Amino acid sequence: MTVRAIVLAAGKGTRMKSSTTKVLHEVCGRPMLWYVLQALRAAGVSEIIVVTNGELQPRIDEFRVQGVVQKEQLGTGHAVRVALDAMAKQPGRVLIAYGDMPLVDADTYRSVLGALDGSGALALVTARVSLPSNFGRIVRGNGGVERIVEARDATEAELAIDEVNAGIYAFQEDDLRGAVARLRNENAQKEYYLTDTVADLIGAGKRVAPVVAKNPAHVMGINDRAELALARAEMNARLCADHMREGVTIVDPLSTSLEPELTIGRDTVIYPNSSIGRLSEVGERCVIGPSSRLSNAQLGDEVTVRESSVADSRAGDRTTIGPYARIRDGAQLGEDVRIGNFVEVKNSKLARGVKASHLSYIGDAEVGEETNIGAGTITCNYDGTRKNKTVIGRNVMIGSNTSLIAPITIGDGALTGAGSVVTKDVPAGARVAGNPAKPLAAK
């Protein structure tokens, strides 16, 4: 039978002290909410509805789920009621999760669904934590869980209970609808507590099954920036572990930042202080780092990126980049390209074997195979209004400190002397030098 899920994410998250709604804060490059939805989908949930606020709702489409706005935050029980009003009545199980729990994995959602067998109305995840704590306390009687009491409504004796409510529930749909309709807001916060459904269902003679979380740290919600940093550390450690298990060497996971949805080939080595993100793909036997940053980068096999950054760009097999190079904005480096220190390549296509070893800017250019770009060469692509193109053929020798005033074309096999300022196209095989560059007498 289909499993549907309701994710509560309408809370403002006051303790974040932020103009951004809480569940949009990022953990390893993805909003917290993204992880919750991923885990629910991995657990087999087929339909998800997110209870949002006015700020989250306009962005909900990017998460490929239905969103429903809870105009006033009258409590978790009220939020669920808002969701149920937007859902078709349909027998089956409904998972409820909070959007600020990015570390909860699919197994936890599966286990709570598994605990809701034929005779039960509700299964919920509990956790043993150290006290004091702000979590709702699980009050057990001789027959099992009896009710949940929120910390602010609890007696001294109840506050001493170290089993708490994680905030993950699986309900039978009809039991959920009934219990939520009966909620009252007679409590310290004048809110409709979803947690009061426990006592309600027990009172109606139904069964409530607790599932104790294996790792309490993973079911902790994120409420402030310190907890956000802890969640990031845990998620990053998981991402590193996943790649190491698949044959990637990560010399220092603590100083390496990864994001979800990366491809990294076997025997690639990542040195310290490096980050890889935005759907990057890294081939096999590459060397990344130390101190490198890849963002939406596509690298072939045996590529080296040392103390450099590659953004929105690709590089072919055996190409080496760095130290201190910047490759950006749609640069396409072919195979066996050599990019050395203090070289910037922007929106340019460098064919196989091109070398630019020192101190150059190559922008809006096309460079043919095996061409050598001398130290200090600049493509002067901007004339104050427009970005102009530089086309350099194959086997060209651009002398040190050449300025190429675009738009310009340098033919195959041509040569420019050191210090040239090239203002006119250079035919194939020609040799020019000077400012402005003039043809040299044939040798």
Active site residue ranges: 358
- Binding site partner of 10, from Ca ion, ligand UD1, none, Cβ cut-off 5-8 A by kind: ligand UD1
- Reduced to 3 states (helix: H, G, I; strand: E, B; else coil), residue 181 is helix
CB closer to Ca ion, 14 vs 435: 14
Residue nearest Ca ion by beta-carbon distance: 221
Taking contact as CB under 5 A, which single stretch among the options 135-143, 217-225, 283-291, 313-321 is the one that binds Ca ion? Answer: 217-225
Shortest gap between Cβ of 182 and ligand UD1 (angstroms)?
A: 15
Taking contact as CB under 5 A, which single stretch among the options 220-228, 265-273, 362-370, 385-393 is the one that binds Ca ion? Answer: 220-228
Shortest gap between Cβ of 323 and Ca ion (angstroms)?
A: 45
Burial class (CB in 10 A: 0-12, 13-18, 19+), 173: middle
CB closer to Ca ion, 221 vs 340: 221
Shortest gap between Cβ of 230 and Ca ion (angstroms)?
A: 14
Give which of 147, 166, 144 is closest to 158, Cα–Cα.
Answer: 147
Shortest gap between Cβ of 223 and Ca ion (angstroms)?
A: 5
CA gap 179, 77 in Å, rounded: 9
Which residues of this protein are in contact with ligand UD1, per CB under 6 A?
8-11, 51, 70, 73-76, 78-79, 98-100, 135-136, 148, 150, 164-167, 193-195, 221
Shortest gap between Cβ of 13 and Ca ion (angstroms)?
A: 9
- Binding site partner of 408, from ligand UD1, Ca ion, none, Cβ cut-off 5-8 A by kind: none
- Reduced to 3 states (helix: H, G, I; strand: E, B; else coil), residue 305 is strand
- Binding site partner of 67, from Ca ion, ligand UD1, none, Cβ cut-off 5-8 A by kind: none
Give which of 86, 107, 99, 87 is closest to 56, Cα–Cα.
Answer: 99
The answer to whether residues 315 and 333 touch, using CB atoms and an 8 Å cutoff, is: yes
The answer to whether residues 378 and 361 touch, using CB atoms and an 8 Å cutoff, is: yes
Give which of 134, 3, 135, 7 is closest to 70, Cα–Cα.
Answer: 7
CB closer to ligand UD1, 100 vs 175: 100
Shortest gap between Cβ of 222 and ligand UD1 (angstroms)?
A: 9
Tokens 């489409």 map to which residue? 61
Radius of gyration for the alpha carbons in the chain, expressed in angstroms and rounded: 30
- Binding site partner of 367, from Ca ion, ligand UD1, none, Cβ cut-off 5-8 A by kind: none
CB closer to ligand UD1, 74 vs 440: 74
CA gap 46, 357 in Å, rounded: 53
CA gap 117, 107 in Å, rounded: 17
CB closer to ligand UD1, 152 vs 424: 152
CA angle, residues 171, 174, 175, in degrees to nearest 5: 55
CB closer to ligand UD1, 165 vs 348: 165
Per DSSP, helices labelled H in 116-272 are 156-159, 173-181, 197-203, 225-245
Give which of 20, 3, 64 is closest to 38, Cα–Cα.
Answer: 64
Ranges within 307-346 binding Ca ion (CB under 5 A): none
CB closer to ligand UD1, 10 vs 45: 10
Shortest gap between Cβ of 96 and ligand UD1 (angstroms)?
A: 9
Taking contact as CB under 5 A, which single stretch among the options 56-64, 216-224, 369-377, 384-392 is the one that binds Ca ion? Answer: 216-224
Residue nearest ligand UD1 by beta-carbon distance: 136
Mention every residue, 6+ apart, whose C-beta is less than 8 A from residue 287. 268, 269, 271, 303, 304, 305, 306
- Binding site partner of 36, from ligand UD1, Ca ion, none, Cβ cut-off 5-8 A by kind: none
Count of residues that bind Ca ion according to CB under 5 A: 1
Burial class (CB in 10 A: 0-12, 13-18, 19+), 148: buried
CB closer to ligand UD1, 166 vs 305: 166
Shortest gap between Cβ of 65 and ligand UD1 (angstroms)?
A: 14
Q: If you write DSSP's letter for every residue of 41-93 in order, what string do you get?
A: HHTT--EEEEEE-TTTGGGGGGGTSEEEE-SS---HHHHHHHHHHTS----SE
The answer to the question of residue 221 lying near Ca ion (CB under 5 A) is yes
Distances in Å between the Cα of 417 and the Cα atoms of 340, 379, 428, 439 are 21, 15, 15, 10
The answer to the question of residue 136 lying near Ca ion (CB under 5 A) is no
Q: Which residues bind Ca ion (CB under 5 A)?
A: 221
